[in-house]
Structure formats: structure tokens, C-alpha cells
Chain A
Amino acid sequence: MRLIARYAVERQEGLEVVTRYDEKSESVMLDRQNPCVDTIATFHPSAIWFERKMHDDFGIKIEGAFDNRPLVHHERFPKGVHPMRKEFTQTALDFADFTSYKFEAVGGDGVFEVAVGPIHAGIIEPGHFHFSQAGEDMLHQEVRHFYKYRGIEKMVEGMTLDEAKPVIERISGNESVAYQIAWQQIAAQAAGAEMPLPLRRYHAFLLELERFIHHWTDLGFIPNDAGFGAALAYASRIAEEGRRMMAALTGHRFGFGAVKWEKPRIETQGVAAWLERMANEAVWFKEWIMDIPSLWDRFDTTGRLRHEKAVKYDCVGVVARACGVPVDVRLNPFYIEHGFKMQTQAYGDVGARFKVRLAEVENSIAMMRNFLEEEAAALTPGEAEDGRYEAFVESSLGELYMTVELKGGKIERFFARDPGFVNWQALHLMMPGNIIADFPLINKSCDLSYAGNDL
């Protein structure tokens, strides 16, 4: 059983802890005054962050936890403040005294620690990586994030789904279309509306275009981190073309606001010709890049994640598929009919992740061709019914899970689990046996979101 999410919801009766697995959902009710729940991290290591977050958000004590450090509340966050509790309504907080954070580190003769971040050297989101080193060799590495913690789950409470949409689509710029589709799946369920096929196809097209752009960005950055700048020049040109196509279709380079209840009429010929050209570019790029031995010397065997570990850590997305774990939300009749093919590799190293991306780009182009449709379409969803709804979308980073509870037409609880939230927790498994100079390569080959993670 794969763990998808673990989160809490405040109710009249107390605090409910929901554990969502792929096959079932479990729920326990806790006493509001003294909330306490058993850890499941012994079986699902990826539960650790969910549980630490629950503690920060709601003040729930995790029984048997072996990691009790705060997660989203950093050094100066006031103690005893649990902002997801309904009684907490402040919109500003003062800084508390500094309480230092204890990093995981390996000790021993000649072992030293390297701290990187939160502000990194390039144009990149903030986060912290903490290494235990023996010379060049990485012994251990801990990820520390949540510098971008914006309080979005609380921010959207009390809003209608429509009011929350502009916020939700800005959770992560790389996955905006994916977040919007998740939002729409939930809104459609709440309104009891069946999405017409042309609308589903159009949004699926945009989602593949988003993946196309994101994958090309990585296909350039990964070789660039190995010192091969020509690939970046090539791939960033293609990514830019993808952005421009997104802007031509939706009016926005990242597709903000693109997922609506209507689909515009599209002049398909131009788009089809562009796809044709992109398909050729992809083939050319693959043949070129596969043929550069010095590059593969850096990629192969670097940053390996073993199959069993990927399963154990409930990994998703490219990270999982590169170790032969076939998880992909698109594995369903709708997508298969439109040409979806599961792309996996076995070895789980940087090279495998790179190859999965190469194959997925080609598959996305093939699917985009099939999703193309000229006709306009529209749907008028009815009133939203109260209840709990959930959505799964395969974003460019992997499976995105979102759940919303509506009460009186307003959001009572919003919870989203970015694919990064589980994958980040597995990153350290890829480090031992590699040198620190390979870290950027390993990290980039996973390309996880900070913003999506740091809700």
C-alpha cells in the first residue's frame, strides 16, 4: 500500500486525522484538548514530514515518533502557536526568540558538515541542504525546506472555490495547469457536473504542454550542471517555444487562468505543424545527447535510488518511474486511448531520470496531437454541494493530490500534497557513494518543487 497523504481536519467533535493510501482511507478522531496519534512512520518513512507538519499546524502529538523537530515552523516561529486551528485568526505574527534547529549529521574522525542555503548561488528557490562529508564523499545529506511557507491552506479557508482559484493556481508556477485541473476536478465533483470530452481533452493538452516545457527546462539544466552548456542553449530554446505556445493558446506564458469552464476554438493546423517540428527537434536532441560519452560518464551510476527504496518511501513521478516503479495518474482509459505509454527505466540514477524525461517529452508530443480539437465547448457547473472531495493529477513532477472540504459553500479545509513533498524525503537516499560535486546533478535530475512543497 502506498501512502499518499496524512493530514488533520478540525471538527466540532475534535481533530480528525485522515490517512490516505492508494487503496483506502483511514480516519481517527482525537480529543481536542490533548490530541495524540500513533506514528505510522515505522512502516511509511514518508509519513515523517506529514506528521511533523500536523504537529506544527494543529499541535497534535505524535506518539512513538523518532523525529519531533518542527517542520514548517522555523527558528523564530512563536512556540505553541498552531495556525491551522480554527481559533487562530491572527493575520500577523511577531518573531520569537531564536531556537536553533538540530540538523541530522554524521559524526566521526575527519567528518565535517557543509551547509548550503537557504539562498542558493543561482536563480533558484530557497531551501537548505545539509551535508555530512568525508572529504569529497557525501555520507549523509538532510533537506530542510519550508522557507516559502505562505500559509496558503489557512489563506483559502472561508473562500468559495472560485475565490480560491487564483491562489491555488499560483501555488507552484511550474505546475500551475496541474493545480488548476485538480481544482476543477474538485469543483466539478462538488457541482455534480460531468466534464464534456472536448474540455477534458483541452485541459489534458495544456497539462502535457506544461510537462513539455518543464521537461525541456530540465533536459537543458541537467547537462549544464555537468558542464555541458550547449545542451542548455538548445533545450532552453525549445522550452521558450513551448512557453510561447502556451501564451498563444491561453494568453499566459505559464497558463495562469487557463483552466476554465469553456474551451476556446483553436486553429489546430498551426499547432499541429508546430508539434511536428517539436517531434523532430526531440529526436535530434536525443540522438545528439545520447552520443556524448563524457556526459554519460557523469550521469550513469550517479545518485542512484534503488527500486525497493523508492517503493518504501512512496515515491512518485519521474523519480519513481526511473527506478521501475510504474506510478502515473495517467494510467487510465482516457489517457491510454490518447496514446499514453508508461515510461520507466530500471537503474534509478541520474541517467535513468534523464532518459525518462526524454521519453516522456516524445510521448507528450504524441498525446498533444491526439488531444488537439478545433471545436469550442462549454459547461455551466451548478451550485457546489458541501462535502469532502479529492483529485489526482499527474503534474510534470508527479502525482499531485488535492482535497477540499466545503461547508456552507465555503472552503472548510484545503489540503494539497505536491509530488515533491514525498520525493524530497527520498533525496538523501541518493547521496551516499557520490561526491559533493554531483549533488547539483542529482538534485536537478529529480527537479522537485520548493513552492509546491512549501504551501
Chain B
Amino acid sequence: MLRFWQKRALTGVVTEHREFEDEIAQIRSVLKDEVKKRFAGSLAIRMVDSGSCNACEAECNALSNPFYDLERLGIRFVASPRHADVMLLSGVMTFNMFHHVMDAWEQIPEPKWCITLGDCSVMQAPFTKSFAIKGPVGEHLPVAWHIPGCPPSPEVIMRGLLDFLRSFEQK
């Protein structure tokens, strides 16, 4: 264990993009009431994969590696749709996932938002519409925000989520 703490001290903190933290602090102060009212102070995300290649998920998983450490911004991935404010949807909407996605959406308590992640969800990845694909997602769900990319990098995802929060400023 001693070796571990040595290594730990030598590696130090690798978290990058500290400016995100300032930005969220700023957003928080502007949106204080709004975030508090709508999101109970932190944004809870239920990620649903409706037919991705898994790279979009891999980038969401990367959000919790020490370089990005998303949770420090008060944005969390939660295990149940019932704990979520937002459904983050990746991949093409497949025929076989359609009803399960709709089910998950139903389970999220109001008010709720659907954010699409990656080019697949808006049918801009190279997959064409086939008998097995019910895309784009926007035809089936009220999409509030879209984060483009194939896949969007962790930075782009963080930026996208902050911009989504920002969009309440105008309202």
C-alpha cells in the first residue's frame, strides 16, 4: 500500500479543463434558482443506448476517468430513469429497442428532457435507414438538445451538457 501512495503522490492530479469548473460555478450562480428548482442542484442523467457502436458509451465512461472527472461538476449518471432529469440517448433507434427506450422515457418523472448524443441518433452517421432502424430519434421523442460527433469526445460532451444548462438562461 505504501507503494500505492507513493505512486499516487508522484502522479498528482491529472484533471484537465479546470475552466469547466469555473464555468459551472458561474452557470450555477446565474441559474441558481432554476437549477435548484428543476434539477435539485445537480443534473442527473440516465444514459440509454438505443443502438450505438459503443464508442459513444465509451466516451461517456471516459467522462469519469481522472482527466475529466465529470462528477465534480455536479453532473451524475444515475442507474434508474426514476432518478433522472435527463435521458441521454445514443445510437440509432433500432426496431428492437424502440419500446424499451419509450418505456425508459415514460419512467422519468416530469419535468424531463431528452438529449441526443452522437450522429447516429439524428441519422447523420453513415448508417442508412433500414427495416431495423426507426430513426431519427426526433421523430419519436421531444429532443431538447443534441450533442453532435461520431463519437463526441468527452470534452465535447461536457461542453454540450453545460450548453444545455446554459440554454435555460434565456428562458
A residues with a Cβ closer than 8 A to B are 72, 74, 76-77, 81, 83, 88, 90-93, 95, 118-119, 121-126, 146-152, 154-155, 166-167, 170-174, 176, 217, 230, 233, 236-237, 239-240, 243, 253-254, 256, 284, 287-288, 449-451
A contact residues around B95 at 8 Å (CB): 74, 76-77, 93, 95, 149
- A147–B51 CB distance below 8 A: yes
Residue from A92, A174, A243 within 8 A of B54 (CB atoms): A174
Q: How far is the CA of A170 from the CA of B104 in the complex (A)?
A: 25
B contact residues around A147 at 8 Å (CB): 51, 94, 96-97, 100
B residues with a Cβ closer than 8 A to A are 3-4, 7, 11, 14, 47-62, 64-67, 77, 79-80, 91-92, 94-100, 104, 125-134, 150-151, 153
Residue from B55, B58, B128, B131 within 8 A of A93 (CB atoms): B131
Least Cβ–Cβ distance between A335 and chain B, in angstroms: 26
- B132–A149 CB distance below 8 A: yes
**Could you list some 29 contacts between A and B, CB below 8 A?**
A74-B96, A76-B95, A81-B131, A91-B129, A91-B130, A91-B131, A95-B98, A121-B80, A122-B77, A123-B77, A126-B100, A148-B52, A148-B97, A149-B96, A150-B132, A151-B131, A152-B127, A152-B130, A155-B127, A155-B128, A167-B126, A167-B127, A170-B126, A173-B55, A233-B65, A236-B64, A239-B62, A256-B55, A288-B7
Least Cβ–Cβ distance between B101 and chain A, in angstroms: 8
Seed contacts A95-B95, A236-B65; 18 additional CB < 8 Å A-B pairs: A118-B100, A122-B77, A124-B49, A124-B57, A126-B49, A147-B51, A147-B97, A148-B52, A148-B96, A150-B130, A150-B133, A152-B127, A152-B130, A230-B4, A237-B65, A237-B67, A243-B62, A288-B4
Q: How far is the CA of A337 from the CA of B168 in the complex (A)?
A: 60
Which single residue of chain A is at the shortest CB-CB distance from B47? Answer: A123
- B62–A240 CB distance below 8 A: yes
Residue from B52, B96, B127 within 8 A of A173 (CB atoms): B52
Q: A148-B96, A253-B153 are in contact. Are A236 and B52 (CB under 8 A)?
A: no
Which single residue of chain A is at the shortest CB-CB distance from B45? Answer: A123
Q: A121-B79, A174-B58, A450-B54 are in contact. Are A166 and B130 (CB under 8 A)?
A: no
Q: How far is the CA of A247 from the CA of B86 in the complex (A)?
A: 30
Least Cβ–Cβ distance between B8 and chain A, in angstroms: 9
A contact residues around B99 at 8 Å (CB): 76, 95
